[in-house]
Amino acid sequence: MAKKRDLGAAAQRAVAYLEEVSPEMRGCSILGSDGEVLAASGDDPSAWGPAASDLLAAADRAGEGPADHAHVATGEGEVFCVRHADLAAVAVSDRFVLASLMFFDLRAALRDLASD
């Protein structure tokens, strides 16, 4: 149980870091291997769970296995998801954000979490 608490605290630090380095990001979440929200932006972190799970499931159906990343752009904003080592990150941003930079930041956060 202590390890899960430690991961949750590290995930919350990762969310805070992502919010700091990505000013065009509206919010993000970090999910564990079971899809549980470890940390997220906003007042209700649990609200990220169903939407993030649906996004990851849709991305998985696009290929022959689990998608390691996905990007969806709409007229209102953009959504990014990245998987690494049984963790996933989902972020929502303003339109026209530099996708390569958003993916880089999300992957770096997950790599750091996985190495803890």
The per-residue pLDDT string of the chain (116 residues; one tens digit each, 9 = 90 and over) reads 345 568 899 999 999 999 999 999 999 999 998 889 999 999 999 899 999 999 999 999 998 889 999 999 999 999 999 999 999 999 999 999 999 999 999 999 999 999 87
Residue 3 is predicted with a pLDDT of: 55
Residue 6 is predicted with a pLDDT of: 87
> Distance between CA 3 and CA 78 in Å, rounded?
33
Residue 1 is predicted with a pLDDT of: 39
Q: 53-63: string of b/e by CB count within 10 Å (b at 16+)? A: bebbeebeeee
Residue 4 is predicted with a pLDDT of: 56
Give the residue from 90, 45, 94 showing the smallest Cα distance to 71: 90
- pTM of the predicted protein model: 0.90
Residue ranges and CATH numbers for the domains of the chain are 2-115 (3.30.450.30)
> What are φ and ψ of residue 83, in 5° steps?
-115, 145
